[in-house]
Structure 1
Amino acid sequence: MSVEIDITGLRRESIAVVPSPLAELGMALHGLAEPGHHPGLRGWATAVTAGLDCHLADRMCEADFLWRTTFSDLFLPCAGLPGRDTLPGATLTEDLDLLDKLDDEQFVNAALEFTCALPYITPGSDALSDEGVRRRALELAAARGPQQLRFSERLLADPPRIRAWLRQFLQDCDEAFFADIWSRLRHQLTADSRHKTDLLRHKGLAEALTSVSSAVTLDEAGDRIVVDKLGNGRTTTGDGSLLLVPTSLGWPHLMVLHRYGWQPVLHYPVGSPEPTALPSVEQLTLRMAALAHPVRMRMCRNLARSAFTTGELAQTHGMTAPEISRHLSALKKAGLLTTRRRGRYVLHQLDVTAVARLGSDFLEGILR
């Protein structure tokens, strides 16, 4: 499973690494709505929430579906503009001006991304012009609660009014809490952008992508970027460009904007505790499957305490050596065993560090 970006024919000068204040505000709102996704932000989220004006807090709940799941493509409006080569604004006001340039159809479809089964990677009908899609959008909104239904009804009935509401809300968030944190984060994001741009210029795209995340790779032909994620998607730069946007608040999310007709964007975390060898989705699947088998679970009880030979495990579990070997092979293939030789014997032991990380690896994998 992965999201792929076809970059055939893309020139190096058409790749930009630029921070976006609006995207970072989107991540800030997400961190406030889902602090469980971001343990490192809990202290900040608690302090901001405690100091919020009650009216702003109520407004924050009105449209939280735009940023609770992850965050809507509306927070990267530059990607939706004609030409597919627009950069994010240098200030929040400039980014909001770009948001105003999206047409109503783009705005509504992006806003309904998480509540309506609209096509994402292919062209299709939209909720403003197709009555069937509109009904479906409202049915799905109703399933999420009356507040979301009311907002969706207002959105479909009067997009300009909701656009004005959203802009004012984001400006109020900036005044209430975001301007302070952005003044501290933008220097780190600018420095990271310079570093990635230097890597791109002097060592090439593959090296720059590796520095973004070990989950991002360039294929051997150099015409396809593959992002290892628990999901599938495909997009192309076409005649446009590729945009890399760093975030200080986003870890563990590594997001790919691959909406049809929009500029592809890699939105990646900086300063994250990501290990140098981030397990792939395939590795996570192997590890979960290996540990789920009842016999291997019982074997792990022994292997976590000490090193055992195949013969010792066979005797302990009342099984044949070939049966034990097959189970050991599954654990080893999943990267959960260490082995060492002692004379003519091979000793196996559970890699408790790898198993201990599995919970956080799994969480990071599904949130990636």
Structure 2
Amino acid sequence: MSLSIDIAGLRPERVAVVPSPLAELGMALHALSEPGHHPGLQGWVTGVTAGLDSHLADRMCEADFLWRTTFSDIFLPYAGIPGRSMLPGATLAEELDLLDKLTDEQFVDSALEFTCAPGYDVPSPSVLADPKLRRRAFELAATRGPRQVRFTQRLLDDPPRVRAWLRQFLEDCDEAFFADVWARVRLPLATDARYKTDLLRHKGLAEALASVSSAVTLDADAARITVDKLVQGRTTTGDGGLLLVPTSLGWPHLMVLHRYGWQPVLHYPVGSPELASPPSVAQLTLRMKALSHPVRMRICRLLARSAYTTTELAQVHGMTAPEISRHLAVLKKAGLLTTRRRGRYVLHQLDVTVVARLGSDFLEGMLR
């Protein structure tokens, strides 16, 4: 399984490596919402969480589906600007202005990426215009609690109001904690961007991509970039460009924006933290046996990003609920899942802290 980017006709000058403050803020919000994905950021997460104003913390939970899975494409708005060649802004304010340039349809579809994405990399109607997609958005929001139902309702009923709410929220996050983060990571990210730009100019795209991740390869003859991930998808640079955006907070996530009609973006981590110590041999044997099935591997990839019901997993994988339940039982017996009840829904999620103990290669494969 992999993601592919068709780069036929892509000119070298249309490939850019540029840090993005808004993307880094999105990753910061993700790390605060899912600290288990980022063992090396535990100290930072604890410090920021302890110092958050209670009102801001409550707002952060209100719309956390925008960044809990990884983060939605609204944090890469320049990719959606017509022409598919816009670069990230130098400041958060500049990028928030670019976010304002997205249409309501683009904004809403991007915001609902993880709860209602019928055709991410193919042409599809907007959830604002399609009653069936609107119902599905509410059904999936319901599995995540009444707060997300209320937010989805506001988003679909009055996108401009939610856009204004989000901009104010992100500006408040900047004041509360992100300005300090950006001051710390801006120069290292700029240094990494200069290094990869030099590779592009002097050694070519293949060398630059290899320095991003061993999971990214270039087939020059086929004019195709392939990203090794436990998901399938495709996109093309078309008459636009290709963006490489580094992140200091993102490991182990290697994100590929491949939304139809948007400029492709590789959002890649620079550096990686130390992981926890390995499990006992008995635990390792049990867990590796549980993960030896390809269907369970794919289930784990989804559950690493968000909580899902058995019914949702069955729909995604084209299987029956009993079949999914048997796979979940194996994973739960191995101690790899957490389960919680929310109303009439039972939600399952991968215990990323436990998975981290299996090794960085496996964790990176799950989360990239």
TM-score when normalising by structure 1 = 0.77
Residue 117 (structure 1) shift: 3.7
Tell me which residue corresponds to 2:363: 363
Does 2:202 match 1:196?
Answer: no
Where does residue 167 of structure 1 map in the other structure?
Answer: 167
Deviation for aligned residue 1:152: 0.1
Q: 1:95 to 1:361 in 2, by over 3 A?
A: same
CA distance in 2, matches of 1:214, 1:225: 12
Local SS of the residue matching 2:199: helix
Q: Secondary structure at 1:121's aligned position in 2? A: coil
Count of aligned positions:
295
Contact persistence 1:5–1:226 (CA under 8 A): yes
Using the alignment, how far apart are the partners of 1:17 and 1:49 within structure 2?
31
Contact 1:109 1:118 in 2 (8 A): no
Q: Is the 8 A contact 2:19 2:189 kept in 1?
A: yes
Q: Is the 8 A contact 2:108 2:155 kept in 1?
A: yes
Q: Take 1:289 and 1:256, find their aligned partners in 2: how far apart are those partners?
A: 30
Alignment of 1:1-368 (within 5 A): 1-221=1-221, 223-272=223-272, 358-368=358-368
> 1:150, CA displacement in angstroms?
0.2
Partners in 2 of 1:81 and 1:267 — Cα distance?
A: 17
* 1:30/1:118 CA distance change after superposition, 3 Å: same
Matched AA of 2:270: V
* Cα pair 1:62 1:148 within 8 Å, conserved: yes
Q: Provide, for residues 99-151 of structure 1, a one-character-per-residue CA deviation record: whole Å limited to 9, x for no partner.
A: 00000000000001111143101111111111121111111111211000000
Letter paired with 1:45: V
Contact 1:216 1:226 in 2 (8 A): yes
Letter in 1 for 2:104: D
Q: Percent of counterpart pairs with the same letter?
A: 78
Moved more, 131-140 or 3-12: 131-140
Check whether the contact 2:109–2:117 (CA below 8 A) recurs between aligned residues. no
Distance in 2 separating the partners of 1:20 and 1:252 = 18
Check whether the contact 2:39–2:273 (CA below 8 A) recurs between aligned residues. Answer: no
Aligned equivalents of 2:134 and 2:290: distance in 1? 45
Q: Which residue number corresponds to residue 300 of structure 1?
A: none
- TM-score normalised over the length of structure 2: 0.77
Give the Cα separation in 1 of the matches to 2:155 and 2:358: 42
Secondary structure, counterpart of 1:167 in structure 2: helix
- Relative to structure 1, the CA distance from residue 117 to residue 13 in structure 2 (aligned partners, 3 Å threshold; closer, same or farther) is closer
Give me the whole-angstrom Cα distance separating, in 2, the residues matched to 1:208 and 1:127: 37
Cα deviation digits, residues 41-98 of structure 1 (max 9, x gap): 0000000000000000000000000000000000000000000000001000000000
Gaps of 5+ in 2: 275-286, 294-355
Greater shift, 243-252 or 122-131, is seen at: 122-131
* Aligned alpha-carbon RMSD (Å): 2.0
- Partner residue of 1:348? none
**Cα distance in 1 between the residues matched to 2:265 and 2:169:** 25
What is the CA–CA distance in structure 2 between the aligned matches of 1:203 and 1:77, rounded to whole Å? Answer: 30
Task: Determine the C-alpha separation between the residues in 2 that align with 1:45 and 1:358.
Answer: 23
Alpha carbons of structure 1 residues 220 and 48: separation in structure 2 relative to 1, 3 Å:
same
Q: Tell me if the contact between 1:118 and 1:126 (Cα under 8 Å) persists in the aligned partners.
A: no
What SS does the corresponding residue of 2:245 show, helix, strand or coil?
strand
